[in-house]
Amino acid sequence: MAEFPALPLWTDAYLADTTHLDMRENGCYLQLLMAAWRRPNCDLPDDDAFFARLCRMDGRTWKRSIRPIMEPFFIIENGIWRQKRLQKERKYVADLSEKQRANAMVRWNKNKNLTDATAIPTRCQTDAPTPTPISKKEKDSLTGVQKESATASPSLPSKPAAVRGSRLPEGWTLSADDRDYARSRGLSFEATEAMALDFEQYWRAKAGKDAVKCDWRATWQRWVRNSENYKRSSGASNLKEERLYEERKAREWIIEQAFKSGVVPMAVESDGNNTDPIQRDDGDIKGEVVPIRGGPFRHRAFS
């Protein structure tokens, strides 16, 4: 096998230089280039018999028809044919190969157990780089280098699998722990059972990704806590309404007692303007009798 089995062929330059050659002449020129590339000094001996055998033709045809066309492509000196561009490519490839061999030697000295074929000097003797990039598979097929098993590196810990959620399981019921949690939050047995029924029906009816949970026990506990927050907020609202109702009843009782005692109180009847039915701070519902206070009222005396 040749020292450098891969021949860089720059197609643009080749086609520009050989547009005047016919098919037979093109074949002969390529044969000469490849034969010179495979020789140690990248040259050819000036031997007509050798050239005739190389181009698969008789000596007379070579001398009379082919040689005169091939000579302009080569520099002929001291009985040797050399192609200028081919010599330049050969020097580039040889220098690059030597540089890579030196780098491989450095890596080899640093790690004696390195099994990479490109780092073993004995393997690099025929691993000739070329300016034209080729795949590793093609390089191995050209040089005969076989892949070697690399030293197994310690495996990294595997990433834990993601937890997949699910809908509320069929036949779901409260466990003893779920009941105990609800009781610890102040719910009675009846309230717990009612809440469990609401919980189950809600999640069975809900569609989409929001109905998929990874931990239904945690979802139940959050449901219980949310119910406490709702009760606190609704309880405050109910307390306010009860207080307003009690104040209204107290005013009505005072007016009623005044009439019964024979005292004629000065009262007003609201005309409904500036009324806020919730806060009741600027007026009252139209037609309601209330004690006198500031605001747009119509006065009425009772006897």
Is beta strand 80-82 parallel, antiparallel or unpaired with respect to 44-45?
antiparallel
Q: Return the pLDDT at 269.
A: 52
Same structural domain for residues 48 and 96?
yes
Q: Return the pLDDT at 137.
A: 58
Same structural domain for residues 22 and 103?
yes
Report, as ranges of residue numbers, the positions in the chain whose pLDDT lies below 70. 1-2, 112-159, 230-240, 262-303
103 falls within a domain: yes
Read off the pLDDT of residues 43-55 as tens digits, 9 standing for 90 and up: 999 999 999 999 9
Read off the pLDDT of residues 279-291 as tens digits, 9 standing for 90 and up: 344 455 555 555 5
Q: Return the pLDDT at 295.
A: 40
Same structural domain for residues 54 and 101?
yes
Q: Return the pLDDT at 73.
A: 93
Q: What's the structural domain count of the chain?
A: 3
Residues 6+ apart with CB under 8 A from 261: none
- Euclidean distance between CA atoms 124 and 120, whole angstroms: 6
Q: What is the Cα 73 distance to its own chain's centre? A: 56
168 falls within a domain: no
Is beta strand 75-77 parallel, antiparallel or unpaired with respect to 80-82?
antiparallel
Range of the domain at 90: 11-143
Same structural domain for residues 291 and 183?
no
Q: For the purposes of burial, counting CB atoms within 10 Å of the CB of 124, is it exposed (0-12), middle (13-18) or buried (19 or more)?
A: buried
Cα angle 2, 132, 101; round to 5: 55
257 falls within a domain: no
Same structural domain for residues 269 and 243?
no
Residues 6+ apart with CB under 8 A from 50: 44
Q: With the C-alpha atoms ordered 113, 115, 116, 120, is the resulting torsion angle positive or negative?
A: positive
Q: Return the pLDDT at 282.
A: 47
Both tokens of residue 230?
């709702």
HEC per residue, 185-204: CCCCHHHHHHHHHHHHHHHH
What is the SS3 assignment for 125?
Answer: coil
Same structural domain for residues 222 and 122?
no
Among the residues of the chain, which ranges form H helices? Answer: 11-17, 23-38, 48-54, 59-61, 67-70, 84-110, 121-124, 136-143, 176-184, 189-205, 216-260
Residue whose tokens read 């009941």: 179
Read off the pLDDT of residues 204-214 as tens digits, 9 standing for 90 and up: 898 888 888 98
| β-bridge partners, 268 | 290, 299
Q: Return the pLDDT at 235.
A: 52
